[in-house]
Every structure is written in C-alpha cells, then in structure tokens.
Structure 1
C-alpha cells in the first residue's frame, strides 16, 4: 500500500509538488479552502486558476476537509503563502499525527515578526521537533515542474534523516533533489531572490538591457549573501541551487510573478494596479519590507533592497531609483571578503 501524503494548499506550487508525489506513486491529497477548486481538480483534473491549460495527474485527490486531508498522512507538504502559513499550520494542529514528516516550500518571511517559515511552523506545532522540519527550495517554476521539465532542487533540515526522507519522497527521473543542512541559508536565499527579481523585471520594463540586469543579479546575490551570513547562514549556500540557481531562474523567466510585477512597474503601472490584477501573491513585495527591516536589525548594507523599498512603499519613480543606484559612491567589488585586503588594510563593508 502506498504511503499517504498531504499537500496544503492548491496554489501553483502546491499543485505542482502534488503532481511530483503522485508520479512517485504516493497516495496524494491536496487541501484547498475552495470547494469549486476541489471539484475541478477531482472531476476535470485541472487547476485552471493557477496552472491554466495543464492536465493534472489523475491520482491527485482534492478536499476542503483538513481532517480528511491529514488523516493517516505520513508526510505533509506546506505550500501556503508566507502570510497564510501560520493560519494554515494552526488549523493542522488537531489532526496531525506524531512523527509526521513536515516539509515546506514557501519563500518569504512572516510580516511583522520577520520570522522564517520553519520558525513559524515550529511555534505553531510545539510538539514537533524543529530540527526535523524540512524546507524545499531552488529553481523550480511550478509551470515547468507540473509538466515534468527537468528540475533540480534542494531540501534542507538540521536533521539529516529528515532531509533524506524528503529527498526520497520527491526524487524521480525529472525531479532531482539534493540535501543541505543550512536551513537558514536556504530559507533566506529563497525569500530574498524575489526582491532582486522585482528589480530585474523593473530594469527590463525600463528597457535597460542585459548589461544592467546582469549587474543587478550579481550585486543582488552579494546583498543576499551579506544579510544571510550576518544572520548565521553558510556562505556556500548562496552559490548553490537555493542561492544563485533560484536567483537566475526567477530573474530571467516570464513565469516569475515577481519579474512580471517589476516589469509592469518599470512600464509605468502603480503597485496597486499590479497587485490587484495579478490574482496571485507576489511574495517579493512583502519580502522587500522584511529585508529592509532586517538589514537595519543586522546593520547590513543592502542598496538594491533599499531603493526597491522606496519604489514600492515611498512612491519613488523606478527610473530615478536606478539612477540613484548608479550614482552611489565608488567601492570595491569584493569588500565582503574578509581574507582580501587592499594596501595592507582590512576591507570595509
């Protein structure tokens, strides 16, 4: 008998990951609040709002009952938005059986508390060992995952056994999975790359070309690494799938909601216009505010994030914001590397 797994919720990534698990012959239940969406998935095997034109694996069964979804589940995959994560996990609490493998695939911070998703999950489920909570991240557009395009991701947990259990759950011929012990680094990478994707889209919307976008990605990675390391992450994580891998795919693909949102801002639309018409969460907007606050908390320089914060929340014109970035005082590219010095002096951050 196949093992049962539950995926919450039925957005684009949740549905795509459910498809991977169904391919791996697991008994997959996909939870949604929306009864019409559950009916569509069960009868038509489609999820038109989030994955238009894609036929889903017939083995995926949707339900609006949290109790039914979690009954006898050996593993749970959480793909709720960062703003909804705490509420969804709280609803799980009465029905979660002991020892269930918990995996989340959400890229963002909780607004207000600035907590990572593993921290939110651990707080809501104190009976769960926090070292066994797994994060799945990396370059993985749902639109490509669901149609079995070759995809490679990383799963991170402090407990190697839990990470390997998640690896075994998802690994197949088109979905390759690596493990990593650096939970903090993987979560920070996944969240912050959405900020740079907003900037990359904005640059493209302004017509600034590939040179500008390449510089934005490169310096963006420096910002992500700088904050992540200050928070306690392993610097090598940012050179891996969760770091540069996810950064590249999110900043260069029109599948990316964050790139699309930035592109529309660059073309002159307001943030309200973009968000109201998108129909799906643009995580990079809230993450920009969180990163802006974290940069001050950890005393880390993040000029790209600061400028995007001004565009999103203070009304600065995108073109003026880019000019502000280009007009910054001169500095060394490798100022973040403590082993390198110039003129016998330690470099300044």
Structure 2
C-alpha cells in the first residue's frame, strides 16, 4: 500500500500514476475528499484526470494504512507543522517528501525537516523536473529519489516507478534538496525578465548565471556536483524557467508585467529567496540574482531597478 498525503495537483498526480499500476493507493485530502471519491477526479486542482479504480480518497488521516511508504505532498512552509501535529501517526514510517524549498524559519530543506521533526522515521525526497498535469496524463517524466542509504533507495525506486514515471536514485539528499529549492528562485527572475520584455537572450543569461549561483551555494552546503547537473538541479531549472505551467515562473511574469497574482497559489521561490539571502550573508557567498529576487518579492525593488543592479556589477571573468 502506498499513501499520498496532500491532494493538491502534484500529490493527486502521483497518486494517479502509482494507482495506474493496479496497486492500492490511498490519497488523503485535507478537505473535499468525499467529493473526490464520489466524482473520481480532483476537479479543483487537476480536472480531466480520472482516478484509477485502485485509488481511494480519504478525509481522516487516522485511517491511513500502517504499511508501506508515505508520500508527503504538502507545501514546504507547512511541512514542519504538519509533521509535528501528526507525529504519532507518522513516527517510524518511511516518509518521502514531495515538496521543494527551504523552511523560512529553520532554513531546512524537506529531508532535514523530516529528520529534525521525526528522527525515528526513514526520510527521503522525490524531486526533479515535473508538472502535475504531465504525470497525471501519463506523459513520460523522470524524477530523482534521494535518501541516505542505497538499500532504502533501491526499495523505494522499485515501489515508485511506473510506466510513465522513471525514478533515478541518489544518496545526496543535500544536493537534491537544494537543486529543487534554488531553481524556483531563478525561475522567478526568468519570469520577471520575460514579463518585462527583456527577451530570450536575457533569460538564457539569467539561467546560466543563476545555475552558477545554485552550484556556489549548494557545494558549500555539502552537495555533490553531479547532483546539481542532473535532474534535481539543471533539469528542474530548465523546465521551471521556460514554462508558464511553473507557478514560480508565472509569479515572475506577473512581477515583470506589473499584474496581480493569485495569492492562493504556493510560490516556494519567495521564502526560499529570503532564506538564501540569509545563508549568503552567513557564508559570505555572492548571490546577486537570488538577492535581487528577494528584494523584488518584498517590493523593495522594481524589475527595472533589479536589472540595473545586476548590470552595474563589476566586470569579471566567467
């Protein structure tokens, strides 16, 4: 039995893909579970993706199976409180975070948060370039599964692989966490660039220099270089910075166009940018794009002012 906690678009899509194999999958919804179970789809978050017969939706967290891995598809900024509130149910389980970002208070990534809140649990992370609609509609997607031990990684890789979902594994949890978190910040910058009408050449420059910032910080935090050049880093960066299906990219577009943005949508790049700025000061690392995104998100900079701050920096070797 596989359990998915969180019936947002991504959690729902994972549950659909896993259930298509015929194995029993339980999807817990904070609200609206009975309606989803009756209609056999998540009309609000992922309309047009019917549920396989082996997928069951529940409202009560206490009803989840005591066996099998648990995927946590809850927003990063809510993960710590969710684990604390449900520690009795989740303790000693195999927990796989399916969220990206850094906790604004602790600056922990998903795996670090799991370990801090539930040290007796087996912690893992599922990350990489993916959109919920692609997964739900059976389109081929490759993801990275990161956990500390190779043995657990192999077991979970087998359990989570489906005909359209190919799972690669790594023991570099720090690299997988930071790749998935930092690319969201760069995606906001790229969205603002396109929204302001600066063009694709400027976006390519932001992606390239942004990737250099990602590597700079992640390597200082103990990540392995190969992880950042793989699915969890460069792969996710390429997808998120080029598609309007990315909420972080769309948020940047809205900033560049000076349009309103739906505040009900989770934009993990905003709190991550703030955490990165704090880290950069602590570690004395130059992170100009991330710093500009944090200022943009707070309203301290306009897009024009942010661009000027980046272009007026001293010239240097690449």
Pairwise same-fold verdict (TM > 0.5): yes
- Encode CA deviations 1:3-45: one digit per residue, 9 max, x unaligned: x1111111111111111211222211111221xx212220111
Structure 1 distance, partners of 2:313, 2:47, is: 43
Larger relative CO (CA 8 A, sep 6+): 1 or 2? 2
Structure 2 distance, partners of 1:169, 1:278, is: 35
Structure 2 distance, partners of 1:40, 1:58, is: 16
Please report how far the alpha carbon of residue 115 of structure 1 lies from its aligned counterpart in structure 2 after TM superposition: 1.1
Structure 2 distance, partners of 1:55, 1:193, is: 31
Counterpart residue number, 1:159: 149
2:79 matches 1:85: yes
Structure 2 distance, partners of 1:50, 1:291, is: 30
Please report how far the alpha carbon of residue 92 of structure 1 lies from its aligned counterpart in structure 2 after TM superposition: 3.2
2:130 matches 1:140: yes
Secondary structure, aligned partner of 1:156: strand
1:316 corresponds to which of 301, 315, 318? 301
Counterpart residue number, 1:328: 313
Structure 2 distance, partners of 1:209, 1:119, is: 38
CA contact (8 A) 2:72 2:96 kept: yes
Please report how far the alpha carbon of residue 327 of structure 1 lies from its aligned counterpart in structure 2 after TM superposition: 1.7
CA contact (8 A) 2:83 2:90 kept: no
Which aligned pairs between 1:21-170 and structure 2 lie closer than 5 A?
21-34=18-31, 37-69=32-64, 71-96=65-90, 98=92, 100-128=93-121, 132-170=122-160
Structure 1 distance, partners of 2:55, 2:36, is: 8
Which aligned pairs between 1:107-256 and structure 2 lie closer than 5 A?
107-128=100-121, 132-256=122-246
Please report how far the alpha carbon of residue 298 of structure 1 lies from its aligned counterpart in structure 2 after TM superposition: 1.6
Structure 1 distance, partners of 2:133, 2:257, is: 25
Please report how far the alpha carbon of residue 97 of structure 1 lies from its aligned counterpart in structure 2 after TM superposition: 6.6
2:276 corresponds to which of 291, 305, 322? 291
Q: Which has the larger radius of gyration?
A: 1
Unaligned runs of 5+ in 2: none
CA contact (8 A) 1:24 1:170 kept: no
CA contact (8 A) 2:270 2:297 kept: yes
Unaligned runs of 5+ in 1: 334-349
Counterpart residue number, 1:344: none
2:11 corresponds to which of 14, 23, 42? 14
Please report how far the alpha carbon of residue 314 of structure 1 lies from its aligned counterpart in structure 2 after TM superposition: 4.4
CA contact (8 A) 1:7 1:28 kept: yes
Secondary structure, aligned partner of 2:44: coil
Structure 2 distance, partners of 1:53, 1:23, is: 15
Secondary structure, aligned partner of 2:76: coil
CA contact (8 A) 2:18 2:162 kept: no
Please report how far the alpha carbon of residue 278 of structure 1 lies from its aligned counterpart in structure 2 after TM superposition: 4.5
